[in-house]
Structure 1
Amino acid sequence: MSVRIGINPLTWTNDDLPSLGGDTPLEVCLSEGKQAGFAGFELGHKFPRKPEVLGPILDNHGLRLVSGWFSGQLLERSVEAEIAAIQDHLHLLKSLGATAMVYCEVTGCVHGDQNTPVSHRPRLAEDQWETFGAKLTQVADYCLEHGVKIAYHHHMGTVVETEEEIDALMANTGDSVGLLLDTGHLTYAGGDPIAVQQRHADRINHVHCKDIRMQVLADAKNRDLSFLDAVLNGVFTVPGDGGIDYATLFKGLHASGYSGWLVVEAEQDPAVAHPLTFATLGANNLKRLCAEAGITLSA
C-alpha cells in the first residue's frame, strides 16, 4: 500500500476565480509546496501542459505530478468526441507518471459563476443515469488501457453533487470508473464522507482533503450563495482546521487498504489565508492524522 500527500495549487492561485492569486508565479507555488512538506502537485492553470516542459520543472523541485482536472462533457458529446478531447491531458498525465485523472462532468455547471447560487445547478433525470454511466465507462475503459484511471470528482454545482448521486454514479458505471472522495464538497452537499468511504471503498482511487468551517457553510446555505461567494467567505480550509471527522475517515481508509494520494485542495482567498501558512498546517495535519490512523506515508 502506497500513500503520499500532495496539494492543489488552489492554495495559491484559483482556477475558477483567476483574480485570486493572479500575480503569484508558479515557482512560488512549487517551492512553497515543497517547503510545506508535500511530495507532489495537481495541475493548475499556470502549469505548462507539455510533459517535456513541465517534467523538468517538477523534477527541479523534487515533486511529482499527482493528477489534473478534466472538464467532461459527455452529456453533450459522443464517447468518440470525448476521447478525442481528452488526448492531450491523458498524454500529459501518463508521460509524467500520474495514474489518476480528476474527471468531472461540467455540462450546465454553475460552480464557476459567481452570480448563480449553487442551488441552481443542473440535475440528471432518472432515465439519464444509465446512458451517462455507460458512456463514462467507455471513456474510463479507454483511459485505463493507457495506464490512467479516471477518478470521478463529485463537485458542488454539477450533476453529481450529493451522496445519492454518487451512489447512482457508482451503480451505473463499471469498475474502470474510480471515485474521487472529496470531503469538503460532500459535506457541503449535505453528505457523509465517512459513510461514502465505507460504502464505496473499493472504488475510491483519489482523495481530496478539504475541511469545512461549519458556521460559514450554514450562512452560505441560508443565503443561497454561489459557490465562489462561499469560497470567498472562507467556507473551506485545510484538513484538521474545520468540522470534518478526519480521524474516523482515515481509519476507514487504512482499513480498506487505500493506496494513492491524499491531496490538500482547500480553495481560499490567498490574501486572507496566507498560502504557505495554510499549506504547512495542512501537511502537518495530514501527517498527524495518517500516523494516528496507522497509515504509513511513502517517501
Structure 2
Amino acid sequence: MSTRVRKVANAPVSFGVFELSDAPPPLSADRMVGALSDAGYEGIDLGPVGYLGIGAGLAERLDGMLLAGGWADLRYNDAEAFREGLGALETALDVFAAAPPAPEHLAPRPTLGCSGSPERFARPGGSVPGLPSSEWPAYAARVQEAVGRCRERGFEPAFHPHLGTYVETPDDVERLLELTDVELCLDTGHLLLGGGDPVTKLREWAGRVGHVHIKDGDTKILAQALDDGVDLRELMGRGGFASLGEGELDLAGVIAALDEIDYEGWVIVEQDTLPGRRTVAQNIADQAANRERLRELGL
C-alpha cells in the first residue's frame, strides 16, 4: 500500500451544476457542501465561478473543506477564441488564489479543458477525424501558453482529455504529451468512453498524471447515444457516467494503479448529470455511496 497522501473530493457536476444562469441551481452551494462533508469528502471542485463564492465568502462556505481544483475551458484550436477566453482563466486563478491555504500537493489545480465541437462527440477512432497534423503545433503552443499563465500565478495546471474534443482518445493524449510539458488530469470515465483503458494508462502515463477524476462509464449508453445522434450533455443525462461500480470501470484496478505509481494529491469523484434528471436526494445518496465504495477499496 502506498504511503502517499491522497484526499478525496467531489464536484458540482455530480449534481448537475455546470453553469450559472437565470434559473436557480438544482441545490444551493451550502447544501451541496454540507452533503459532501457529511459523506466524508475533504474537498470540492470549484464548479462555475461564483457558485461556491469567491474570496472570503468561498473560504467561509467551505468551512474546513479544501478547494481541489476547477475547470477552465479554452478553445485551443482557434487562435482568436483562445485569446478571448484567457480572461476567464485569469478570473478562475483569482478565485484559486483566495481559496483556503493547503499543502502544496493539495493546492487547487486549474483543470485545462478544450471546448468541444458537436461533430467530434464521442467517436473514438471512428468516422470523425481528429485535429489535422498541421494544426497540432499551434494547438499545443496555446496549451503551453495557458500552462505558463497558471505557473506564473503559482499554480500547476493539469489538462483534461475529454469526450467530444480534440484530445479525446489515447492517441490524442500521446500527441499532446509529446508537444507540451503539461500534466494530465486523467479522467477515468472520459478515457474509458474515449476508447482507453484507465488502469493501463495510469501506469503508462504515471510521470505525467498530476490530477485524477474518478468516474465510471457505460459504453452501452454511449453507443445508443451515438446511434440517436444526441449531444454530450444528453449522454450525461441518460446516465452515461454511472455510479461507481455500476458501469464498466475497473475501480479496484484504478485504486491499485494509483498505489503502484505512488500518486499523491486529489482524487475527485465525478458523476456528471443534468439538472432535473434525478432528484437532489438521489444525487446526494449517489455521492455518499460513491465515497463508501472508495473507502471499501482503501481510499
- TM-score, length-normalised on structure 1? 0.84
Whether the 8 Å CA contact 1:163–1:186 is kept in 2: the answer is yes
Within the alignment, does 1:272 sit opposite 2:272 as a pair?
Answer: no
Q: Secondary structure at the match of 1:263?
A: strand
Q: Report the equivalent of 1:47.
A: 51
Whether the 8 Å CA contact 1:12–1:21 is kept in 2: the answer is no
Within the alignment, does 1:131 sit opposite 2:133 as a pair?
Answer: no
Structure 2 unpaired stretches of 5+ = 102-106
Alignment-mate amino acid for residue 62 of structure 2 = L
Hey, what's the Cα distance between the residues in 1 that align with 2:271 and 2:20? 14
1:130 deviation in Å? 2.0
Which contiguous aligned blocks of 4+ residues in structure 1 show a shift greater than 6 angstroms? 16-21, 78-81
Post-superposition Cα deviations, 1:180-207, rounded to whole Å, max 9, x if no partner, equal 1111111111221122212211111111
1:38 deviation in Å? 0.4
User: Which residues of 2 match residues 91-130 of structure 1 at below 5 A?
Assistant: 91-96=94-99, 97=101, 98-106=107-115, 109-110=117-118, 118-119=122-123, 123-130=130-137
Describe the shift of the 1:56–1:122 C-alpha distance in structure 2 as closer, same or farther (beyond 3 A).
farther
Within the alignment, does 1:200 sit opposite 2:209 as a pair?
Answer: no
Between the two proteins, the alignment pairs up a number of residues equal to: 282
Q: Secondary structure at the match of 1:74?
A: coil
Question: CA RMSD, aligned part only?
Answer: 2.8
Q: 2:66 aligns with which of 58, 64, 67?
A: 64
Q: 1:191 aligns with which of 182, 185, 196?
A: 196
Which region of structure 1 is more displaced relative to structure 2, 118-127 or 200-209?
Answer: 118-127
Q: 1:234 aligns with which of 232, 235, 239?
A: 239
Within the alignment, does 1:288 sit opposite 2:296 as a pair?
Answer: yes
Describe the shift of the 1:15–1:282 C-alpha distance in structure 2 as closer, same or farther (beyond 3 A).
same
Which region of structure 1 is more displaced relative to structure 2, 119-128 or 94-103?
Answer: 119-128
Which region of structure 1 is more displaced relative to structure 2, 76-85 or 27-36?
Answer: 76-85
Hey, what's the Cα distance between the residues in 1 that align with 2:33 and 2:246? 23
Post-superposition Cα deviations, 1:243-273, rounded to whole Å, max 9, x if no partner, equal 1112122211111111111111111356436
Post-superposition Cα deviations, 1:157-179, rounded to whole Å, max 9, x if no partner, equal 111111110111111102xx110
Within the alignment, does 1:247 sit opposite 2:252 as a pair?
Answer: yes
Could you tell me the percent identity over the aligned residues? 26
Whether the 8 Å CA contact 1:122–1:157 is kept in 2: the answer is no
Describe the shift of the 1:139–1:286 C-alpha distance in structure 2 as closer, same or farther (beyond 3 A).
same
Q: Report the equivalent of 1:144.
A: 151
Post-superposition Cα deviations, 1:94-124, rounded to whole Å, max 9, x if no partner, equal 3314331111121x5339xxxx965597831
Which region of structure 1 is more displaced relative to structure 2, 35-44 or 270-279?
Answer: 270-279
1:70 deviation in Å? 0.4
Whether the 8 Å CA contact 2:73–2:112 is kept in 1: the answer is yes
Alignment-mate amino acid for residue 109 of structure 2 = A
Describe the shift of the 1:85–1:222 C-alpha distance in structure 2 as closer, same or farther (beyond 3 A).
closer
Describe the shift of the 1:99–1:233 C-alpha distance in structure 2 as closer, same or farther (beyond 3 A).
closer
Hey, what's the Cα distance between the residues in 1 that align with 2:78 and 2:223? 34
Whether the 8 Å CA contact 1:238–1:264 is kept in 2: the answer is no
